[in-house]
Structure 1
Amino acid sequence: MIRLFNKSNFWLNWGLVFPIIMLNLALLIFCFYYLQPAITIIIIAALLAFLLNYPVRIVTSIISKRSYAVAIVFIVAITIFVTLAITLFPLVLQQLEEFTKRLPVWIDSGSIQLQIFQEWAIAKNLPINVSTVAKRLEEHLANELQLLPTQILNFALEAFDSTIEILIVVVLTFYLLLYGDRFWNDLFQGLPLKISQVIKLALHQSFRNYFLGQFAIAVLMGLTLTTTFLLLKVPFGLLFGLSIGILVLIPFGDILGIISVSVLISLKSIWLGGEVLIIAAIIDQGIDNILAPRIFGTLVGLNPVWIIISLLLGAKIGGLLGVVIAVPIAGTINLSLDYFKNESINVNN
């Protein structure tokens, strides 16, 4: 370890290590694609088990036997999920269907508003020309609108076809809650003890800080924005509020969601769109600056540039699931490297 970080041999060492690392990464990516959908099922089940493990610990403190606690938490979680699927999901789907029908009218309204703005700019002798932008925007939105119903239908068919996979995820989540510790110990058994301990600790810390924090913020943001939109009588307030809340699970997703929703509402009414933008931004900043640090502190200790890079790589390799887990994995790598770097410095000193 000391010789590895010796400055005189730095480039030589990394000239040998870097190709090996890249070959291993290429092999992992190949295995990830080759073993689909099994890898995706395992990752989703592991994430669900990780989130449910915290209420299991709370129940275990009340009733000592863990198997009973797992059964209670699992039944409650499934009950909540089924209740939401029966009550909330049909409403969201109904609003989505109605939104696709109204969107052409909103596009025409947005074009009219841009034309009015263009006439006002000409009357004031302002060098502004939005007619080309308006035409391109209308064509782009119209094309996307034609594809949206097909995409929704394909998503529904895929969800129906993956019923067996969903059942496997549920069963695997249950058994990971029961025997997860033994599974992870067996998984890292081939590594040296010190390295396995560091990686397991970094994994736990990164995923805990990220998912528990992001999940709490997403629920809070979704409920707050949905309630606010409904009080303001924003069209499709339930759909837009929950959409932004879901996007909060992705870094910078709240900004993307707020801007997208504001632009869509501005097609109907530019004043309402501006009002939604201001109020949603205030709520978002209030939660991020006041409540978020108290809920989960620093995200994963990553530079924002590395967060964006990890998101791009995650999207390229694993699609939506890759985007969701990219940041905590990058945080795990960062924490592990920091530990070994600090250890080598201490040894040298």
Structure 2
Amino acid sequence: MNKNNKAILFIGFNDFRDFKRGVENVILSQVGAIENRDIYYIYNSKNCFEEYTYEGIKCIGVPGRMLRYVYPSILARKLKNKYKNVFIHSHNPLSSLFLLYKSDCLTVHDGLYYTRKYLRPKISYIFKLLEKLTYKKVKNIHYISNFTRSQMVSTSTKSTLIYNTTPIEKEIKKVKEIKPNKYLSSKGRNFFCVRGIQRRTRIDLLIDLAKENKKNKLEDKIFVAGKGELLEFYQNKIINEKLTEYIELLGFVADDELVNYYKFCDAVIVTAESGEGFGLPIIEGYLFNKPVFCSKVCAMPEVIIDKSYMFQNDGNAIFNCINRYNFNSEYYYSYYINNYSNKVIQEQYKNKIYKR
């Protein structure tokens, strides 16, 4: 028996070394709320079994689809033999379904049925059944927004609402101040957007906004950080429509670069069509005391500071929404600190999930 006698096993998807946003961000914020436990993390490896330690977390990568659903039970069994108390916190609903033990907590970012009915509508009913079965295999459900809860298949399992926070808060002090010229347009206002370049994130709306700015002879520029399958397609579209002075797709942006873009921009824009269970760039904008404008969809209406900062998904509507505002307000940062800071969210994890 281990001298600590306590462990927590996180079941996720991706390697911490390659992914730092989305699910992985939430797991790291939950780790920050845990005291006096050995922490393990199992994820989907690309090629082979691998083990390493990341920020005190013992990480285990497992290859192969079937093995990914079998090995969590093997590891859980090993840990239960080694420790007196093992808390299983899953972020992977299918792994929870096939686990030989009940997960103590399942964090739901977007329900299985909700995501699959858009991606694979013909067989979405299968995922509806799988989601129902999964909830019977967990003791507590943590959902990241009321919108996410509303899209989940109906369940009587005990559930807890805790919003997300951002790891960028810890990165700010580590980043060296860089001359702002690189992060600013030479003339007009600068808008920053962090998005995966996918259909659901509606990058086309930002291109439409760039056209509106050009038509109205505004010298504003939009910087978009993110990668995805449509990156090259939209980059070519921007070049062909002669909009390079008005919008730039940056591709992958490292954390230090990300911090500086947030720091030196005038405002943040978040566009989406579906699949936005929370809206992380919204609170990151507030962390840097910036106004944030976003689509009126998914969970974003419950995260935004005021619904007047929201727009319908139309280039002209975005243009009109943005140009109604004076950008000199100073209360965005306090809104972040009081509602979404690392300290506030981690206290909720401690009291609502781990201590209980």
Name the TM tier (shorter chain).
under 0.3
- Give me the TM-score of the superposition, normalised by structure 2: 0.25
- Give me the TM-score of the superposition, normalised by structure 1: 0.26
Query: By percentage of residues, which structure has more helix?
Result: 1
Larger Rg belongs to: 1
Query: By percentage of residues, which structure has more strand?
Result: 2
